[in-house]
Amino acid sequence: MQLLPPMPSWTGMHPLVVHFPIALLLVAPLLVVGALVWKSLSRGLLVAALALMAVGTAFTWVAVSTGAAAGEQAERGGARIEAVVEQHEELAETTRNVFTLLTLAFATLVFAPSMMRRALERVPFTAAHAAFLVLYAGGAVFLVNTAHQGGRIVHEFGVRAEMSPAQSAGGMVMPAAMLEAGESGESAEEEARENVTRGSGAAPSGAAASPAGSPAEPSARPQSPGGGESARQANHATEPSGRP
């Protein structure tokens, strides 16, 4: 009995790691709001929020790396899915960069008063963190849009990742119909040219075959010399006689 599942390939890791930044980075601002509401717990809540941001941002780097490897395989599904994959990759890279900057800015906001040995007053404290939450909301929009495009790739186009490296070296699997559509779209023009070539080559050969086929028609079978007389005698025998 196997206690642990097999370790997936690097491309197969994408579905496992991609949900961590979504969850962690969307929960972190709730702790910041809690720090603004409960002043006595603000220090602990802000440190916890920073920890969630740091871990979530780290997972964005892993998710982008595994997603880039998996995207190379998913783009084989045709032009339409390739466009969605490229948009998903661009949004993911933007989200990663935005949250890297937001995490560094929030770390400065949390630890700067301690380093300066001067706590912020209530009004500056609230204003600074409220401004940060506004910027964070913009990053959350990128995060949600990135997740939406990734969901389209899985649920609309049916692209999935192989969990075991022994199952597929590519790491991504697409429905057979999608692969056939992509391959047929790429080779449609070539097949059309081949059909035209076959059609133009078949016409002369067919025309040349017609004269050769004419003499092959079956000729009338010659009758034996006595065949006509025997037939007349047989007909005469079968005719009803008009005599009494």
Q: Is residue 242 over pLDDT 50?
A: no
Least trusted range by pLDDT, from 39-48, 121-130, 228-237: 228-237
Tokens for 204, please give them: 């002369």
Region 179-185: mean pLDDT is 48
- Choice between 222 and 155, residue whose per-residue pLDDT is larger: 155
Confidence tier at 66 by pLDDT (50, 70, 90): confident
Q: Which neighbouring-strand residues pair with 160?
A: 173
pLDDT in tens, 187-204: 555 666 666 666 655 444
Place of tokens 């080559």: 201
Q: How confident is the model at residue 94 (pLDDT cuts 50, 70, 90)?
A: very high
Q: Which helix (H) or strand (E) holds 161?
A: strand 160-161
- Read off the pLDDT of each residue in 233-243 and give the average, rounded to a whole number: 49
In this prediction, residue 92 carries a pLDDT of: 94
- Residue 211 confidence (pLDDT): 47
Report pLDDT for 49. Answer: 98
Using the predicted structure, report yes or no on whether residue 186 has a pLDDT greater than 70. no
Average pLDDT over the chain reads: 75
The SS3 of residue 210 is helix
pLDDT of residue 154: 80
Distance separating alpha carbons of residues 65 and 69, to the nearest angstrom: 7
What pLDDT does 165 receive? 52
pLDDT in tens, 15-43: 888 899 999 999 999 999 999 999 889 99
Counting residues of the chain whose pLDDT is more than 70, the rounded percentage is 58
Domain ranges in the chain are 11-184
Higher pLDDT, 102 or 120: 102
* 9: Cβ contacts below 8 Å, ≥ 6 apart: 162, 164, 165, 168, 169, 171
Q: Which of 80-84, 114-118, 166-170, 175-179 tops mean pLDDT?
A: 80-84
**pTM passes above 0.85:** no
Task: Give CA–CA dist 121/235, Å, rounded.
Answer: 134
